[in-house]
């Protein structure tokens, strides 16, 4: 059983890799639209990467109204087996 913080770390790793930004520049409370310079459709790409990694399914709406990594981590963590 992993913690929300572990999930958050994994998300930051994947986001850094996918959007090619140095991992150390990202933190949980960042607004990822601003920090990664992405729009809502590209944010959905991140969701696809997270699905592959965690082997779970994430509906588009898990991104709805979320702008920071920590909230996203909480939502994803709740879906982990």
**Binding residues for another protein (CB under 8 A):** 20-22, 25, 33-42, 44-45, 47-48, 57, 59-62, 64-65
Shortest Cβ distance from residue 37 to another protein (Å)? Answer: 3
Nearer to another protein, 1 or 20 (CB): 20
Of 3 and 25, which CB lies nearer to another protein in the complex structure?
25
Q: Where are the alpha helices (DSSP H) in 38-77?
A: 40-54, 69-77
Kindly tell me which of 1 and 57 has the beta carbon lying closer to another protein. Answer: 57
Residue 54 Cβ vs another protein, minimum distance, rounded to whole Å: 16
Give the residue from 71, 77, 75 showing the smallest Cα distance to 32.
71
3-state secondary structure of 47: helix
41 Cβ contact partners less than 8 Å away, ≥ 6 residues apart = none
Residue corresponding to tokens 């409370």: 29
């Amino acid at each position: 059983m992993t913690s929300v913080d572990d999930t958050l770390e994994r998300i930051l790793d994947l986001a850094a890799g996918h959007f090619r930004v140095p991992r150390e520049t990202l933190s949980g409370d960042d607004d990822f639209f601003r920090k990664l310079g992405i729009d809502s459709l590209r944010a959905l790409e991140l969701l696809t990467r997270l699905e592959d990694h965690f082997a779970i399914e994430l509906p588009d709406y898990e991104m709805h109204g979320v702008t920071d990594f920590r909230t996203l981590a909480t939502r994803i963590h709740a879906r982990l087996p």
